[in-house]
C-alpha cells in the first residue's frame, strides 16, 4: 500500500505541508537522522487558536469531570475506529480514557474538543500526552497523539487538518517539537508497518459474531479444543504486579527496552502509571523467583472492548491487547502462554498482539492468527534513516 501511494503519486494536500518524512524522500540516503525542522522561539508560536468553521468552537476537555468524560466516551463509542468491514468499533471505557489521558506530567490543554456552538454537542476530539521516547541513543520529548475523531456527519470537510494543527500549536507552546502516533491509514511516511495477530480465547463467540471463521476441515468442537488453555498459569512465582514492585519492574523494563531502536524511556512514575494494574484497564503480572525473590519476567495487557455492530446475540467483544513484556528467565513463549491463561480466566474473548519487539517468536506457536488490518507508526518532525522493522520497535500506543 505504501508502494501504491508512491507510484500513484496520491496527493496529500495537508501532509505535504508538514515536517514529516515525504514519500519522495524515501530512497534519499543523505537526509540526516533527527529533527526535520529546528524548534522556533516560543514567542513565535501562534498565540491564538486556529480558525474553525463558524458554527464550531474549541473547548479544552477536563476528563475528570464525569459529564465531559461521558461526552467524549459517547463521541468515540459512536464515531471512532471501525474495521474495514464495519463490523466492530473500538469502545474505549471511561476508566481507560482517564488512564490514557492522565499520565505523569499531562497537559490539560492537549485534550481538545470541538463543539457545535448552537447545540453545544461535542463533534470532534484529539488528544496528546507527553512521553519521553528514545530513538537509538537520544531521548526525545514527544507528544503521543491519539483519539482523533470527527463525527460521522462532519467527515471529509477538512476538519482533521485543523485539529492536527491546533494540537501541534498547543504542543509547541510547551516547548515540545516532536510527536509519535499510529494509524490504520497510510500517510507520509510510516517509520514501520506492523500487523495485528489474534489469539482466540472464546472461539465460539468469535465465530458467531463474524470475528473469525471456522477453519477448513474444522468443526466447532475441534476448534474449541484447539484453543483450550490450562485453568491456571504454569510458571512458579507468577503473580499480579503490586505497588512495591515498581522499582524492580522499572529496572527490568529499562534494561530490556535498550535493545529496541525506538522505545519509551520509562521511569518509576511512568511504570506506576502505565503498568500497575488498574481494574478493567491494564493487567500486569510478573515472575518472582521462589528462592531469591528477584523479579525476572513481566507481562502486561490492556483492555479495549469493541462494540459488535448489528448482532442479535452479542453487543461487545472483550479484547486484551499485549502491552509490554519482558522475559529474562522464563521463556517468552511460556510467559505469554500464562498471559493467555489469565486473560481467559478474566473472560476475554480474544488476545491481540502486534508483531513488535520479540512478539514474532511466540505468535505462531501460541496459535495467534494474522489479522487483516495493518498499523502504521509515525513520528512528527523526526526522521529515522531507513525506518525500522517491527521487531526493532519497542513502542505500543493505545
Separation of alpha carbons 357 and 324, rounded Å: 9
CA pair distance 302, 382, nearest whole angstrom: 28
Residue position matching grid coordinates 473469525 = 212
Burial 372-383 (b: 16+ CB within 10 A, else e): eebbbbbbbbbb
- Binding ligand NHW (rule: CB under 6 A), the pick from 7, 13, 32, 231 is 13
| 81 part of the interface to ligand NHW, by CB under 6 A | yes
How far apart CA 145 and CA 167 sit, in angstroms, is 9
Q: How far is the CB of 306 from ligand NHW (least distance, A)?
A: 13
Can residue 185 be called a binding residue for ligand NHW (CB under 6 A)?
yes
Q: Point out the catalytic residue in the list 201, 206, 366, 398.
A: 398
CA 168, CA 191: separation in Å to the nearest integer?
20
The set of cell numbers assigned to 51 is 480558525
Contact between 14 and ligand NHW by CB under 6 A: the answer reads yes
Toward ligand NHW, which CB reaches closer, 15 or 73? 15
Cα–Cα distance, 72 to 365 (Å, whole number): 39
189 makes contact with ligand NHW (CB under 6 A): no
Strands 122-135 and 138-150, bridge-based pairing: antiparallel
Distance (Å, rounded) from C-alpha 128 to C-alpha 177?
12
Q: For residues 133-152, which are near ligand NHW according to CB under 6 A?
A: 143, 145-150
Nearest approach, Cβ of residue 180 and ligand NHW (Å): 8
Cα–Cα dist 92/72, whole Å: 10
**Residue 150 Cβ, how far from ligand NHW at the closest point, in Å?**
4
**Residue 300 found at the interface with ligand NHW (CB under 6 A):** no
Q: Which C-beta is closer to ligand NHW: that of 150 or that of 357?
A: 150
Write the CB contacts of 28 (distance below 8 Å, at least 6 apart in sequence). Answer: none
Among 7, 54, 119, 156, binds ligand NHW (CB under 6 A): 156
**Region near ligand NHW per CB under 6 A, out of 23-31, 98-106, 176-184, 332-340:** 176-184
Q: Measure the CA–CA gap between 390 and 374, rounded to whole angstroms.
A: 12
By the rule CB under 6 A, 161 interacts with ligand NHW: yes
Size of the site for ligand NHW (CB under 6 A): 35
Query: Residue 196, CB half-sphere, CA atoms under 13 Å: how many?
Result: 21
Q: Identify whether 398 is a catalytic site residue.
A: yes
| 353-392 positions binding ligand NHW, by CB under 6 A | 380-381
Using rule CB under 6 A, residue 39 touches ligand NHW: no
Complex with ligand NHW: residue 13 or 217, whichever CB lies closer: 13
Return the active site residues: 398
Instruction: Summarize as ranges the residues that interact with ligand NHW (CB under 6 A).
Output: 12-15, 79-81, 143, 145-150, 155-161, 164, 167-168, 171, 177-179, 181-183, 185, 187, 380-381
Amino acid at each position: 500500500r505504501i508502494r501504491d501511494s508512491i507510484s500513484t503519486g496520491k496527493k496529500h494536500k495537508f501532509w505535504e505541508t508538514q515536517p514529516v518524512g515525504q514519500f519522495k524522500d524515501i530512497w534519499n540516503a543523505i537526509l540526516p537522522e533527527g529533527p526535520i525542522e529546528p524548534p522556533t522561539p516560543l514567542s513565535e508560536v501562534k498565540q491564538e487558536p486556529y480558525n474553525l468553521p463558524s458554527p464550531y468552537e474549541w473547548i479544552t476537555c477536563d476528563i475528570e469531570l464525569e459529564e465531559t468524560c461521558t461526552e467524549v466516551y459517547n463521541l468515540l463509542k459512536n464515531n471512532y475506529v471501525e474495521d474495514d468491514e464495519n463490523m466492530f468499533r473500538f469502545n474505549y471505557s471511561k476508566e481507560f480514557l482517564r488512564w490514557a489521558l492522565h499520565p505523569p506530567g499531562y497537559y490539560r490543554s492537549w485534550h481538545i474538543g470541538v463543539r457545535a456552538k448552537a447545540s453545544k454537542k461535542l463533534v470532534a476530539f484529539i488528544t496528546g500526552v507527553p512521553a519521553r521516547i528514545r530513538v537509538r541513543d537520544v531521548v526525545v520529548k514527544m507528544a503521543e497523539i491519539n483519539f482523533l475523531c470527527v463525527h460521522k456527519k462532519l467527515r471529509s470537510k477538512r476538519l482533521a487538518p485543523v485539529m492536527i494543527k491546533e494540537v501541534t500549536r498547543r504542543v509547541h507552546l510547551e516547548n515540545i517539537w516532536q510527536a509519535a502516533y499510529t494509524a490504520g491509514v497510510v500517510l507520509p511516511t510510516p517509520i514501520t508497518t506492523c500487523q495485528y495477530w489474534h489469539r482466540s480465547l472464546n472461539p465460539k463467540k468469535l465465530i458467531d459474531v463474524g470475528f473469525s471463521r471456522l477453519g477448513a476441515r474444522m468443526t466447532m468442537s475441534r476448534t474449541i479444543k484447539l484453543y483450550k488453555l490450562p485453568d491456571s498459569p504454569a510458571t512458579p512465582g507468577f503473580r499480579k504486579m503490586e505497588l512495591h514492585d515498581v522499582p524492580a519492574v522499572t529496572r527490568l523494563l529499562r534494561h530490556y527496552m535498550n535493545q529496541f531502536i525506538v522505545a519509551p524511556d520509562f521511569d518509576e512514575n511512568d511504570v506506576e502509571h502505565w503498568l500497575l494494574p488498574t481494574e478493567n484497564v491494564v493487567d500486569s503480572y510478573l515472575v518472582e523467583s521462589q528462592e531469591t525473590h528477584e523479579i525476572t519476567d513481566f507481562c502486561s495487557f490492556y483492555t479495549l472492548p469493541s462494540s459488535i455492530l448489528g448482532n442479535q446475540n452479542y453487543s461487545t467483544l472483550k479484547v486484551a491487547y499485549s502491552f509490554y513484556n519482558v522475559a529474562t528467565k522464563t521463556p517468552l513463549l511460556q510467559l505469554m502462554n500464562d498471559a493467555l491463561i489469565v486473560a481467559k480466566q478474566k473472560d476475554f474473548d480474544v488476545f491481540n498482539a502486534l508483531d513488535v519487539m520479540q512478539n514474532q517468536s511466540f505468535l505462531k506457536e501460541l496459535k495467534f492468527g494474522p489479522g487483516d488490518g495493518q498499523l502504521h507508526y509515525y513520528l512528527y518532525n523526526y526522521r529515522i534513516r531507513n525506518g525500522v522493522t517491527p521487531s526493532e520497535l519497542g513502542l505500543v500506543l493505545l
